[in-house]
Amino acid sequence: METGRDNAVVQPTFSGFRVTLRDIAKECGVDVATVSRSLSGGYGIRKETRQRVLAVAQRLNYQPNQLARGLATGKSSTLALIISDIRNPFFSELARGAEDAASAAGYDLLLCNSDLDRLKQMRYLRSLLAKRVDGIVMNSVLDLSPGVQDELSHCGVPIVLLSRSREVRGFSTVTADNLRGGFLAGKYLIDLGHQVVAHFTGSRKHGNLADRANGFLKAVNSSEGKPEAIVIRGHHSYEGGCEMMKRLVRNRRNASALFACNDAVALGAIRAAFEAGVRIPQDISVVGFDNVEFGALTRPPLTTIDQPRYGLGQAAVEILLSHIGCEGSWAPEHRMLGVKLVERESCLPLGEVRRGGRQ
């Protein structure tokens, strides 16, 4: 043992045993309330007493009980991020941006995966509210009914919706410029001379994908060459991309180019094309959307529309933190981040396609 200030006996501490406010109070010769106010910066504590408490707390490696503090203050210093499909590599960079922004502000971030299941999403939301999280970022591509919107708007914590192209009453939103991205993809393929261009996409109710499709069709319809657009709908996943490409090949549609609604769909389509003996880009050019890291590693590397995944997560948490500081009186904020075309090797001009392509 060692002797501390005023000859008090200091008990050794061991890793795995939680040091409590009572332990610090006993060593400092003060009551628990004095220790609590000293650590929290409360009033009525002499400078030398506060310094002695802080020194002992640091030496004993005191870790505050966040649960108890949350019960006392109503704040948990915890945020939550609900994503729709953890298997989609798009979300890894988005989650990193959200986590970095939360950590820099002294918050922990919980990650939940809804699997595009409406019931699971609502179960997570209610569970997170019961755990007293201070705010929620939600990547919900599901329609929020008026009843659900009303429930969430009165839940007592701010909720920021990710990837909602259409503003939802009472909620802040963060999204990329999907309409612009779809237009850039369509115009790029048309400028390469392609006259029959397929578009693999998901449900019409998926706001982001609907905007990308509308941007793509705007590029097609505004072209003087009168190109043809073939829209094929399926699940917006790797498996969905495989299936949609099989349908395109099976129906012998004469498309020389493809715009996929996201990179996961594009990579699935490339895999199915390879299995069917369809060469990329000699037989069909492919453009994706998202710019996930895997797209640069495939063969050929994928031309795609880049949206700032890290920035989306970061912006959502920044808005959330600003709402938390407003103590329940926040005004909705809507941010739209820019997109750009990333040109790689999965596309060729139409003339080069036909010279080396299918006969």
Q: Fill in the DSSP letter of residue 5.
A: G
Share of the chain above pLDDT 90, in %: 48
What pLDDT is recorded for position 167? Answer: 57
Q: Which of 7-21, 148-162, 287-301 has the lowest mean pLDDT?
A: 7-21
- CB-based contacts of 31, cutoff 8 Å, min separation 6: 25
**Which pLDDT does position 10 carry in this prediction?**
42
Q: Which residues of 23-37 are buried (b: 16+ CB within 10 A; e: fewer)?
A: bbbbbbebeeebbbb
At residue 142 the predicted structure's pLDDT band, cuts being 50, 70 and 90, is: low
Share of the chain above pLDDT 70, in %: 84
pLDDT band at 252, cuts 50/70/90?
confident
Contacts of residue 30, Cβ cutoff 8 Å, sequence gap at least 6 = 49, 53
Range of lowest pLDDT (99-103, 126-130, 145-149, 156-160): 145-149
Instruction: Please state, rounded to an integer, the average pLDDT across all residues of the chain.
Output: 84
- Cα atoms in the Cβ-side hemisphere of radius 13 Å centred on 62: 19
Which distant-in-sequence residues (6+ apart) come within 8 Å of 293 by Cβ?
Answer: 89, 93
Distant-in-sequence, close-in-space partners of 201: CB < 8 Å, separation ≥ 6: 209, 212, 213, 231, 232, 233, 236, 261, 265
Q: Which two tokens stand for residue 251?
A: 């129906």
- Per-residue pLDDT at 198 exceeds 90: yes
pLDDT at 273 over 90: yes
Domains of the chain (ranges, CATH numbers): 2-64 (1.10.260.40), 76-175+309-337 (3.40.50.2300), 178-308+342-356 (3.40.50.2300)
| Count of residues in the chain | 359
Is a pLDDT exceeding 60 seen at residue 356?
Answer: no
Give the global pTM: 0.75
- Cα dihedral 260, 265, 270, 275 sign: negative
Degrees (nearest 5) of the Cα angle 89, 346, 306? Answer: 45
- pLDDT value of position 20: 81
At residue 15, the pLDDT reads 43
Which of 31-35, 240-244, 269-273 comes out lowest in average pLDDT? Answer: 31-35
Residue ranges of the alpha helices (H) in 75-177? Answer: 90-104, 118-130, 146-153
Q: How far apart (Å, rounded) are the C-alpha atoms in residues 173 and 164?
A: 6
Q: List helix spans (H) across 134-177.
A: 146-153
Which segments within 219-322 are labelled E, that is strand?
228-233, 257-260, 285-290, 303-306
In tens, the pLDDT along 24-34 reads 888 888 888 88
